[in-house]
Amino acid sequence: METKTKTSAKSKVDKAPTAKAETPKMKLLNTAKIEEAQVIEPKGHKPNLEETSKIISSLHDKIKHVTRLGFYIERLEEFEIEQKDEDLLKQDHYYQGCVLTIKDDKRREFELKNPVLIGKVIEFLGGLLQNRRSEIEAEIILP
């Protein structure tokens, strides 16, 4: 009789872990069914040909803009400016060959020959271009 009780104890022990092991499986199956149902449920509006064309055109324009900004950033990074003096307020800055020229709509010009200031302008402009490029890249997603 002792052997019968031992086997029955073993069978109880064997059944207990399998019952616990089945519970997580059942939970996974239930959550998978729920997720599958959630994926199937939202049947969104399918864009027609005209809407699809507008989406593609918009994405194309954004990609062209990102490419153009990348070109500008590369051009700015190519500039080599020798800076012998870091003090912006000194009067003894000498012309080193760097010129920054800004023209307005009325063809008025502003020239800057200070290499330290030109370097700061390039650094600032590069940062602005990089930020704008990142913003546009974040907008490029397929619907």
pLDDT tens for residues 77-131? Answer: 888 776 555 555 555 555 667 889 999 999 999 999 888 888 899 999 999 999 9
In this prediction, what percent of the chain has a pLDDT beyond 70? 59
Q: In this structure, is residue 14 part of a structural domain?
A: no
Q: In this structure, is residue 9 part of a structural domain?
A: no
Name the nearest CA neighbour of 23 among 33, 31, 13, 11.
31
Q: In this structure, is residue 35 part of a structural domain?
A: no
Q: In this structure, is residue 142 part of a structural domain?
A: yes
Q: In this structure, is residue 76 part of a structural domain?
A: yes
CA dist., res. 33 & res. 43, Å (int): 17
Q: In this structure, is residue 71 part of a structural domain?
A: yes
Q: In this structure, is residue 26 part of a structural domain?
A: no
Question: Which residue range is the domain that position 138 belongs to?
Answer: 48-80+95-143
Give how many domains the chain has, as a whole number. Answer: 1
